[in-house]
Amino acid sequence: MKKYRVKEVFTPTTPARIAFIDRESINDKLVNALEMPGKQLIVYGHSGSGKTTLLANKLDQLYENHITTHCMKGMKFDQIVLDAFDQLDTYYPSELGTARKNTVSAELTATYFLIKSKLQASETTELTKKEQRILPPQLTPQALGKLLGAAKCCWILEDFHKIDDSEKTQLSQLMKVFMDLSDKYEDLKIVALGAVDTARQVVEYDNEMRNRVAEIHVELMTEPEIESIVKKGEAALNVAFEGELKTLIAKYSNGLASVCHHLCMYMCQAAGVEETATEQIVLDINHFESALRLYVEEASDSIRSAFEKALKQRRKTQYHHTNIILEALCSFNERGASRVELLQKIRRKIPKYPEISLKNTLEKLKTDDYGSMLRFNQTAGLFSFSDLIFRVFAMAHFRNNGVNQKNKGNSASSDVAQLIQLLEAEIKKSFPEGARLFIAKGV
């Protein structure tokens, strides 16, 4: 039996490989788009839905080469182009003289070195910092396309939604140039990834490009998908999750595979499993409980900081919108509530609460700036907390603040032990399978 380390199998913060599962619902669409010459891709969906992992695994299976640019807020389009150019380093010979041996044409290699020398020259003369480098006029969209195309490279733009709208227009232009070049370079392709609700929020492209852009929505995982991750892990590590634990983990993960990887990793840790066991080891509810405790402890700082972001009052306004809305959302079950339901709930307390404030604030609460507190399920039309822990934390927060205003800054919700209790209570209430397990154990 092949031996794996637990952290190679359960990967809460990096793309899964060993425990990677194919996503039936999108696999064909993604593979077709990746294989079709000239097709540009926009992959979108909630943060944590598995976009990066999916791409990483599929590119390994299907593509010769790829480069990845990680986009950040405030990044200019020129910098993005320069980042791609810098990464071409590995595909072009380090000396002009060896160019002919390479598959890349001599002319392109010459272009590459010309641009490289221009960049170096401007760096030494102006002593500019890397972030402020100037795009040499020779590094045109066509030139970049040819250089990438000749290297058989696909270009991944991670988190493209973070780029300012004014810069985004240029990407759509670049995509158009790449489409035109695909006659000659069939591997040339841009894949833009964004944690947003629609493809157009990632790249606003022209209607005439419609047929040549594939929009791929990565949904949060279904419970059977998450259970498959646990099963893959079981097989790789020679462990067995007892009884209904797989179902419980899947439910608890609430669509987020990273939660599943975290819990499984901590359960192995609790059972002293570090690598593939020689004889099968059984993981039970006690391990699950330890894992949950560790997960909450570990996450508590980031949960707190997410809440600080969400609840911070940016301006003096009549209402504390985020407070009002998150508190209202707590009164619904974990599946969440529609906007109309939320409005009704809020207006019972504040009859004149403006609908537009609700609409705007809900949008904000989905963004990084507000701790990515909420998610919106398009199919069901429901807003919910993006992580079950957020929901439990919010319930504790509002309960405590409601009862005891004096303790506001130091609410007992910061108390991990209490949070765990609430989590367990929540599990018992929401997930009958979990309840049975806890009851069996006598918790």
Ligand X SMILES: Nc1ncnc2c1ncn2[C@@H]1O[C@H](COP(=O)(O)OP(=O)(O)O)[C@@H](O)[C@H]1O
Give the integer Cα–Cα distance in Å for 170 and 203.
10
- Largest Cα–Cα separation, the chain: 77
Q: What tokens appear for 242 in the block? A: 């007892």
Give the integer Cα–Cα distance in Å for 152 and 212.
19
The 3-state DSSP class for residue 377 equals strand
| Binder of residue 49, out of ligand X, Mg ion, none (CB less than 5 to 8 A by kind) | ligand X
Q: With respect to ligand X, which residue has the nearer C-beta, 232 or 428?
A: 232
Q: What tokens appear for 196 in the block? A: 């947003």
In DSSP notation, 134-157 reads PPPTT--HHHHHHHHHHTTEEEEE
| Binder of residue 251, out of Mg ion, ligand X, none (CB less than 5 to 8 A by kind) | none
| Binder of residue 19, out of Mg ion, ligand X, none (CB less than 5 to 8 A by kind) | ligand X
CB atoms within 10 A of CB 318: 10
Considering the complex, what minimum distance in angstroms separates the CB of residue 248 from ligand X? 18
Considering the complex, what minimum distance in angstroms separates the CB of residue 196 from ligand X? 11
Give contact residues for ligand X (rule: CB under 6 A).
11-13, 15-16, 19-21, 23, 47-54, 229, 257-258, 261
Residue among 178, 170, 160 nearest 205 (CA): 170
Considering the complex, what minimum distance in angstroms separates the CB of residue 8 from ligand X? 11
Q: With respect to Mg ion, which residue has the nearer C-beta, 71 or 188?
A: 71
Q: With respect to Mg ion, which residue has the nearer C-beta, 71 or 263?
A: 71
Please report which helix (H) or strand (E) contains residue 179, including its range: helix 165-181
Q: With respect to ligand X, which residue has the nearer C-beta, 51 or 168?
A: 51
Considering the complex, what minimum distance in angstroms separates the CB of residue 277 from ligand X? 21
Considering the complex, what minimum distance in angstroms separates the CB of residue 47 from Mg ion? 7
Q: What residue number has its CB nearest to ligand X? A: 50
Radius of gyration of the chain (CA): 25
Q: With respect to Mg ion, which residue has the nearer C-beta, 48 or 141?
A: 48
Give contact residues for Mg ion (rule: CB under 5 A).
52
Give the integer Cα–Cα distance in Å for 336 and 255.
14
Q: What tokens appear for 301 in the block? A: 């700082």
| Binder of residue 16, out of ligand X, Mg ion, none (CB less than 5 to 8 A by kind) | ligand X
Q: With respect to Mg ion, which residue has the nearer C-beta, 194 or 434?
A: 194
Considering the complex, what minimum distance in angstroms separates the CB of residue 299 from ligand X? 14
